[in-house]
Amino acid sequence: MVAQESESGSSMKAFIRVVKDIALMLTRIVMGVVMVAHGWHRWQNEGVSAEAALLESLGLPNPGLIIWLVIGFEVIGGILLIFGLATPLVGLGLMVLNITIIVLVRSEHFYAHDDGWEYNAVMAVVGLMLLAHGSGRAGLDNLFIQPRDDEPEQEEQEETATMIAEHPTP
């Protein structure tokens, strides 16, 4: 009976881990596509000069440079997210960018249709989540970054093997 409980607990942990990896992968891909689309839109549809004029009206220095950095971050960062590369770093950038937009541009209204900050708040929180959790096992970050301490994969496998050896099922 104890072996069955530990096996079901182990199965549940494995299931949750797979769900987490799928959720992180989908979040990365969708967020990456959204970032690329927004960067492309700023560049091709809105135009760099219109975006720079907005930043200049806010009194920001070097608005042309800032908007090119934002466009570059959105396009390159979005592509990196799609593949799961540099995910925590892109998450941090996404969070900082959107908090900055909220503070400097959109703090007067809540709803996005009123030029408010709700959309940017969601983007900032997604950035925080990607910073905290990384790309998941389906991202290419795993080729370059060691597994985190909060996900000791080898230890879990050893514990599961030990439990099964100690409590064989009849």
DSSP string for 7-37: HHHHHHHHHHHHHHHHHHHHHHHHHHHHHHH
Model's pTM, two decimal places? 0.78
- Look over the chain and give the mean of its residue pLDDT values, rounded to a whole number: 86
Res. 17: pLDDT tops 70: yes
Return all residues near 3 (Cβ < 8 A) that are at least 6 apart.
Answer: 163, 164, 167, 168, 169
Q: How many angstroms separate the CA atoms of 32 and 41, rounded?
A: 14
Q: How many angstroms separate the CA atoms of 55 and 45, rounded?
A: 17
- When pLDDT is cut at 50, 70 and 90, the band that residue 21 belongs to is very high
What's residue 156's pLDDT? 59
- When pLDDT is cut at 50, 70 and 90, the band that residue 4 belongs to is low
Res. 84: pLDDT tops 70: yes
What's residue 36's pLDDT? 98
- When pLDDT is cut at 50, 70 and 90, the band that residue 146 belongs to is confident
Q: Residues 35-81: pLDDT tens digits?
A: 999 999 999 988 899 999 989 998 999 999 999 999 999 999 999 99
pLDDT higher at 5 or 92: 92
Res. 3: pLDDT tops 60: no
Name, of 75-79, 110-114, 143-147, 165-169, the range with top average pLDDT.
75-79
Structure tokens at 33: 């596509």
Res. 120: pLDDT tops 90: yes
- When pLDDT is cut at 50, 70 and 90, the band that residue 109 belongs to is confident
Q: How many angstroms separate the CA atoms of 11 and 16, rounded?
A: 9
